Amino acid sequence: MPVLQQQRHSETAHRQRVSSAKFQPLAMPALDYTGEVAEATAEAYEKVRHVIPAIEWPAYAPYIKAINDLKRQRNAVILAHNYMTPEIFHGVADIVGDSLQLAKEAATSQADVIVQCGVHFMAETSKILNPDKTILMPDMAAGCSLAQSITGADVRALRQKHPGVPIVTYVNTSADVKAECDICCTSSNAVEVVESLGAPRVLLVPDKYLAANVALRTTVEILTWEGACVVHQRFTGAEMREYRNSVPGVKIIAHPECPTDVTAEADYTGSTAGMINWLKENSPKKALLVTECSMADNVASQAPGVDFVRPCNLCPYMKMITLPKILESLVHMRAEVTVDPAIAARARTAVERMISLKS
Ligand code: 13P
Ligand code: SF4
């Protein structure tokens, strides 16, 4: 064998040995609360001390140290949605953000392994954008009521019923559904995506409330589907008015997955990242985040001085992701998210079309 070819052959063999060693199951690390663990997690504790009492930290800290050590061993990154619990958000996440930010990060990640701390459609989006990477989901049952509300066959039927009408699908959908649409959107760019198509009429599926909120901000006619988010559909306009009356000066910040009688009462409506930016820029004394509960817990350390008024609703799916499950995931390299390559290729076109828009 010529020298150069021999060299390449041995480099490839070396890479394969390293890579398969990287993916071997490892021993479960010790989970004692030692001085070393306390020191390694002290910075994270400062960011969560407003929600986790000091007496409870020894139950979290060993997991945080073990997960951070394992990430280095596996060349893994953790992408965490803004709805993750504070110990995940501040303790082990490398990248945090809303759905659009996480999709953009997934597209440029240099890691071999992505652990998706969020729900299944987010892990699928990461896999669609990174077919050669290992995408792990700490709990495969972490779904989403919106993603469950529509199938690829439903989108094909819609296309037949509305020939020539472009279809925008919210990122909160399965790969199958993304594969059938023209372009994806998230809550932070839905208006821009709809208007980018230059059509008088657009189907925006599956969230009927996101669609209704977009319809209020554009002249494009919006057709939709009967999907809703179990977290945001429960808020009501009457509830918002009661808060406004009982908490003088409160600023109401709502997610566009809320019904329009809720967003009509809001001082600001936007994605979870939009909410965080609005809080940082406006520093209100009192704020009501009309969204998932962990948002206020996570943002509190970034927006000191804001008094967060409840209510909030828990997302049962997001809350399936826990530190012990993330650790198991990195120790055993499971559960790996896969997407049929033919479906992934079509879905990628829709996701990349969205990512390539300016904002
Ligand atoms: P964003 O973080 O994109 O606003 O989405 C919220 C959500 O419900 C994700 O499931
Ligand atoms: Fe789905 Fe709503 Fe939970 Fe987000 S908050 S994952 S949209 S059910």
Residue 352, both tokens: 């990349």
Distance 315 CA to ligand 2 centre (A): 6
Nearest-angstrom CA–CA distance, 114 and 12: 23
- Per-residue pLDDT, 358: 67
Nearest CA to ligand 2 atom 6: 144
pLDDT in tens, 164-178: 999 999 999 999 999
pLDDT in tens, 216-231: 999 999 999 999 999 9
Q: What is the pTM of this model?
A: 0.90
The answer to whether the annotation marks 63 as part of a ligand binding site is: no
Distance 186 CA to ligand 1 centre (A): 8
Low-confidence ranges of the chain (pLDDT < 50): 1-20
- Per-residue pLDDT, 140: 97
Nearest-angstrom CA–CA distance, 347 and 266: 34
Nearest CA to ligand 1 atom 4: 271
Greatest alpha-carbon pair distance for the chain in Å reads 82
Which atom of ligand 2 lies nearest, measured to the CA of 292?
Answer: 5
CB count within 10 Å of CB 359 equals 7
Distance 334 CA to ligand 1 centre (A): 24
CB count within 10 Å of CB 338 equals 12
Within 8 A by CB and 6+ apart from 309, the residues are 243, 247, 250, 286, 287, 288
Q: Which domains does the chain have, with CATH numbers?
A: 3-142+319-332 (3.40.50.10800), 147-229 (3.40.50.10800), 232-314 (3.40.50.10800)
- Per-residue pLDDT, 22: 59
Residue 105, both tokens: 């990060």
Nearest-angstrom CA–CA distance, 102 and 118: 10
Distance 16 CA to ligand 2 centre (A): 38
List residues near ligand 1 (CB under 6 A).
82, 98-99, 144, 172, 186-187, 229, 257, 271-272
Nearest CA to ligand 1 atom 9: 99
* Among the bound ligands, the one closest to the CA of 295: 1
Nearest CA to ligand 2 atom 7: 229
- Per-residue pLDDT, 145: 97
Identify any residues that bridge with 253 across adjacent strands, giving them in sequence order.
268, 289
| Helices and strands of the chain, counted as H and E runs | 17, 12
Mutate to test the pocket of ligand 1, among 148, 149, 172, 213 (most ligand atoms within 8 A of CB): 172
- Per-residue pLDDT, 101: 87
* Among the bound ligands, the one closest to the CA of 102: 1
- Per-residue pLDDT, 359: 60
